[in-house]
């Protein structure tokens, strides 16, 4: 894995929502690769966040970087075309939240987006068995979904190794993303376990202040230095 294969995806869950466009622009200018967009419905997870209108607003604001929509909603199919129309690049969902996983994955690609499955810490990987040719991204949760700022569960490292092996054996071009508790002091071990795409919410945005956008730059540089 070379440095350029690694992508850092700030989770805007920890951004200042009152100044979201500016926050996203600042973090991209500071060197982030993709925008991680957490969608919560107060049903599949016990929290409520943002939907397609906000994704569309970021595109209208001028954000051109890939937007990585992480659906924590149930059901998923109804909202997929809305996010595609709103400018999503990736759309990932939790297999437990869809009655027909193959159909949801196909729907995402039919709508012109890249598809992915998300695994909670206790969700088994067998959901991948028959769909490796239908996913562009596999996202492993290293916390239970619903909130930013939680502690990284170290059991995710063994799971990452397992998924990395599955991806290599499949021969498909699939990104392996990790989400939850990623910090400067653990990103290297996470990369060594096989991740190539790193969501970081509180690690990045809690370092910022409205007057000091350079702080995102400092954290992003430190994360990248660990990956070098």
* Residue whose beta carbon is closest to ligand DX5: 201
**Positions in 30-59 near Zn ion (CB under 5 A):** 38
95 near ligand DX5 (CB under 6 A): no
Binding at 202: pick from ligand DX5, Zn ion, none (beta carbon under 5-8 Å per type): ligand DX5
Task: Figure out which of the listed residues 74, 132, 149, 153 binds ligand DX5, where binding follows CB under 6 A.
Answer: 149
145 near ligand DX5 (CB under 6 A): yes
Q: Does the annotation count 38 as an active-site position?
A: yes
Task: Figure out which of the listed residues 70, 114, 166, 175 binds Zn ion, where binding follows CB under 5 A.
Answer: 70
The least CB distance from residue 161 to ligand DX5, in Å, is 21
Active-site entry in 38, 41, 68, 196: 38
Answer positive or negative: Cα dihedral of 158, 163, 167, 169.
Answer: positive
CA separation for the pair 111, 145 (Å, rounded): 26
CA separation for the pair 225, 220 (Å, rounded): 9
The least CB distance from residue 147 to Zn ion, in Å, is 10
Q: Are 219 and 24 in contact (CB under 8 A)?
A: no
The least CB distance from residue 115 to ligand DX5, in Å, is 17
179 near ligand DX5 (CB under 6 A): yes
179 near Zn ion (CB under 5 A): yes
**Positions in 194-223 near ligand DX5 (CB under 6 A):** 199-203
Say how many residues touch ligand DX5, by CB under 6 A.
22
Q: Are 138 and 120 in contact (CB under 8 A)?
A: no
70 near ligand DX5 (CB under 6 A): yes
Comparing CA positions, the residue from 71, 56, 146 lying closest to residue 115 is 71
150 near ligand DX5 (CB under 6 A): yes
The least CB distance from residue 150 to ligand DX5, in Å, is 5
Binding at 14: pick from ligand DX5, Zn ion, none (beta carbon under 5-8 Å per type): ligand DX5
Active-site entry in 136, 179, 196, 217: 179
- 36 contact partners, CB below 8 Å, separation of at least 6: 9, 10, 11, 12, 13, 68, 70, 179, 199, 201
Q: Are 80 and 108 in contact (CB under 8 A)?
A: yes
Q: Does the annotation count 179 as an active-site position?
A: yes
**Which residues of this protein are in contact with Zn ion, per CB under 5 A?**
38, 70, 179
């Amino acid at each position: 894995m070379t440095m350029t294969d690694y992508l850092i995806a700030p989770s805007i869950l920890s951004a200042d929502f009152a100044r979201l466009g500016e926050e996203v622009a600042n973090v991209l200018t500071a060197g982030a690769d993709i925008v991680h967009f957490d969608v919560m419905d107060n049903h599949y997870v016990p929290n409520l966040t943002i939907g397609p209108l906000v994704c569309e607003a970021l595109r209208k604001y001028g954000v051109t970087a890939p937007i990585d929509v992480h659906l924590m909603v149930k059901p998923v199919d109804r909202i997929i075309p809305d996010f595609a129309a709103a400018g999503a690049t990736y759309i990932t969902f939790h297999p437990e939240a869809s009655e027909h996983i193959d159909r949801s994955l196909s729907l995402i690609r039919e709508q012109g987006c890249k598809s992915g499955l998300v695994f909670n810490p206790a969700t088994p990987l067998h959901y991948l068995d028959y769909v490796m040719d239908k996913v562009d991204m596999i996202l492993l949760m290293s916390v239970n979904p619903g909130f930013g700022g939680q502690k990284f569960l170290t059991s995710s490292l063994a799971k990452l190794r397992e998924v990395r092996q599955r991806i290599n054996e499949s021969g498909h071009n699939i990104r392996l993303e990790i989400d939850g508790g990623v910090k400067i002091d653990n990103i290297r071990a996470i990369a060594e376990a096989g991740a190539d795409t790193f969501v970081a919410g509180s690690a990045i945005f809690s370092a910022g202040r409205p007057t000091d956008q350079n702080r995102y730059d400092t954290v992003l540089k430190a994360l990248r230095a660990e990956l070098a």
